[in-house]
Chain A
Amino acid sequence: MFAYIRRRALSALIILLVASVLIFGILRLAPGDPAVAIAGPDATAPVIKAIRQSLGLDQNLAVQYWTWLSGLFTGNLHHSYVFGSSVAALLGQALSNTLELALGALICAVVIAVAIGVPAGVSRRPGSARTANLIDSVLYAVPPYVTGVLFVLVFSVALHLFPASGSGPGPWKSSASLHALILPAVCLSLPTAAIVGRFLGSSLRKTSEADFVRTARAKGISEARLVWRHILPNSLPPVLTILGLQIGQLLSGAIIVETVFAWPGLGQLLVNSVTESDYLTTQDILMFAVLVFVIIQLLTDIVNNVFDANRGKRNL
Chain B
Amino acid sequence: MKNVADTAIVVSDVDEPASRAVTPSGRLLRGFRRPEAMTGSIVILFFVLVVLTGPLFLHYSPEAQSAASLAPPGARHFLGTDELGRDLLSRVIYGIRVDLIVGLIAVPVGGVIGIAIGLFTSTNSVADTVVQRSFDIVLAFTGMVLGLTIAALIGGGLFTVLLTVAIVNVPLFGRLVRTTVRTEMGKDYVTAARAIALPTRTILSRHILPNAIDPLLVQAGLSLSNAVFLEGAMSFIGLGVKPPDPSLGSVLRDSINFMTVSPLYAIAPMVVISLLVVAFNLISDGLNKTLLNA
| Cβ of B142 under 8 Å from chain A | yes
Asked whether, in the complex, the Cβ of B6 is within 8 Å of the Cβ of A195, the reply is: yes
- State whether A146 and B152 are in contact (beta carbons under 8 Å apart), knowing that A140-B281, A271-B237, A290-B140 are contacts in the complex: no
A274 and B259 contacting across the interface, CB-CB below 8 Å: no
A23 at interface, CB cutoff 8 A: yes
B152 touches A149 (CB 8 A): no
Beta-carbon contact of A252 and B8 below 8 Å: no
- Taken together as a complex, chains A and B put the C-alpha atoms of A294 and B144 apart, in Å, by 15
A189 to chain B, nearest CB (A): 16
Min C-beta distance of A210 to chain B, whole Å: 20
Beyond A26-B152, A143-B233, list 15 extra A-B contacts (CB 8 Å): A18-B133, A30-B153, A137-B278, A142-B274, A143-B229, A145-B233, A146-B232, A149-B266, A153-B259, A249-B1, A252-B1, A260-B236, A260-B256, A275-B239, A286-B149
Query: Using Cβ atoms and an 8 Å threshold, which residues of chain A touch B152?
Result: 26-27, 30, 274, 277, 279, 282, 286
The answer to whether A202 and B8 touch across the interface, beta carbons within 8 angstroms, is: yes
Chain A CB within 8 A of B55 CB: no
B239: which A residues are within 8 A, CB to CB? 271, 274-275
A-B CB proximity, top 6 nearest: A252-B142, A141-B281, A141-B278, A145-B236, A255-B144, A274-B152
Q: Do the beta carbons of A29 and B133 come within 8 Å of each other?
A: no
- Asked whether B8 lies within 8 Å of A138 as measured between CB atoms, the reply is no
Neighbouring A residues of B144 by C-beta, 8 Å: 252-253, 255-256
Please tell me if the beta carbons of A275 and B7 are within 8 angstroms of each other in the complex. Answer: no
- Max chain B C-beta neighbours (<10 A), residue from A19, A142, A150, A274: A274
Q: Verify B238–A275 contact, CB threshold 8 A.
A: yes
Say which residue of B137, B151, B236 sits within 8 Å of A22 (CB atoms): B137
- Confirm or deny: A293 has a beta carbon within 8 angstroms of a beta carbon on chain B: yes
Contact yes or no, B148 A270, CB < 8 A? yes
Contact assessment for B149 and A26 in the assembled complex, using a CB-CB cutoff below 8 Å: yes
**Is the CB of A15 closer than 8 A to any CB of chain B?**
yes
Task: Check B8–A149 contact: CB distance below 8 A.
Answer: no
- Chain B positions 123 through 151: 1 when the CB is less than 8 Å from some CB of chain A, otherwise 0: 00000000001001100111111001101
Asked if B92 CB lies within 8 Å of chain A CBs, one says no
Q: Which residue from chain A places its CB closest to the CB of B134 in the assembled complex?
A: A18
Question: Does B106 have its Cβ within 8 Å of any Cβ on chain A?
Answer: no
| Contact B278 A11, beta carbon cutoff 8 Å | no
Residues of A within 8 A of B233 (CB): 143, 145, 255-256
| 0/1 interface trace, chain B 267-293, chain A, CB 8 Å (1 if under) | 100100110011001100100000000
**Contact residues in A for B252 (Cβ distance below 8 Å):** 145-146, 149
Within 8 Å CB of A286, what residues of B? 145, 148-149, 152
Residue B225 lies at the interface, judged by CB distance under 8 Å to chain A: yes
A286 to B141, CA, bound (A): 8
Contact surface of B with A, Cβ cutoff 8 Å? 1, 6-8, 36, 133, 136-137, 140-145, 148-149, 151-154, 156, 225, 229, 232-233, 236-239, 249, 252-253, 255-256, 259-260, 263, 266-267, 270, 273-274, 277-278, 281-282, 285
Report yes or no: B259 in contact with A290, Cβ–Cβ below 8 A: no
A205 contacts the other chain (CB 8 A): no
Contact across chains for B281 and A11 when beta carbons are under 8 A apart: no
Q: How large is the interface on A (under 10, 10 to 19, 20 to 34, 35 or more residues)?
A: 35 or more
Q: For the complex, would chain B's binding face be called helix, strand, loop or mixed by DSSP majority?
A: helix
Cβ contacts under 8 Å, A141 to chain B? 225, 274, 277-278, 281
Given A15-B140, A142-B278 in contact, is the A149-B255 Cβ separation under 8 Å?
yes
Chain B contacts for A150, CB-based, 8 A: 270
Cβ of A177 under 8 Å from chain B: no
- Bound CA span A248–B151, Å: 21
- Total inter-chain residue pairs, C-beta < 8 Å: 135
The distance in angstroms between the C-alpha atoms of A35 and B154, with both chains bound, is 18
Q: Distance (Å) between the CB of B285 and the closest chain A CB? A: 7
A157 cross-chain contacts in B, Cβ below 8 A: 259-260, 263
Closest A residue to B136 using CB positions: A15
The answer to whether B153 and A297 touch across the interface, beta carbons within 8 angstroms, is no
Q: Which residue of A lies closest to B228 (CB)?
A: A143
Would you list 21 pairs from A and B whose C-beta atoms are within 8 A, ordered by A residue?
A11-B133, A18-B133, A19-B137, A138-B278, A140-B7, A142-B277, A142-B278, A146-B252, A149-B259, A153-B263, A249-B1, A252-B142, A252-B143, A260-B236, A271-B238, A274-B148, A274-B152, A275-B239, A279-B152, A282-B148, A286-B145
Question: Which residues of chain B have C-beta atoms less than 8 A from A279's C-beta?
Answer: 152
Residues A146 and B270 in contact, CB atoms below 8 Å apart: yes
Closest to A165 in B: B256
CB distance from A231 to the nearest CB of B (A): 19
Chain A 262-299 per-residue mask, 1 if CB under 8 angstroms from chain B, else 0: 00000000110011010100100010011001100100
Say whether A274 contacts B277, CB under 8 Å.
Answer: no
* Cβ distance A132 to chain B, nearest Cβ, rounded Å: 13
Flag if A256 contacts B236 (CB, 8 Å).
yes
Q: Which residues of chain A (124-143) have a CB below 8 Å from chain B?
A: 137-138, 140-143
B-contact 0/1 string along A2-31, CB 8 Å cutoff: 000000000100110011001100110110
**Complex CA–CA separation, A137 to B286 (angstroms):** 12
Q: How far is the CB of A62 from chain B (nearest CB, A)?
A: 21
Contact yes or no, A248 B142, CB < 8 A: yes
Which of B145, B255, B263 is A290 in contact with, Cβ under 8 Å?
Answer: B145
User: Which residue of chain A lies nearest to B281 when distances are taken between CB atoms in the complex?
Assistant: A141
Q: Which residues of B contact A271 (CB under 8 A)?
A: 148, 237-239
> In the bound complex, how far is the Cα of B237 from the Cα of A101, in angstroms?
18
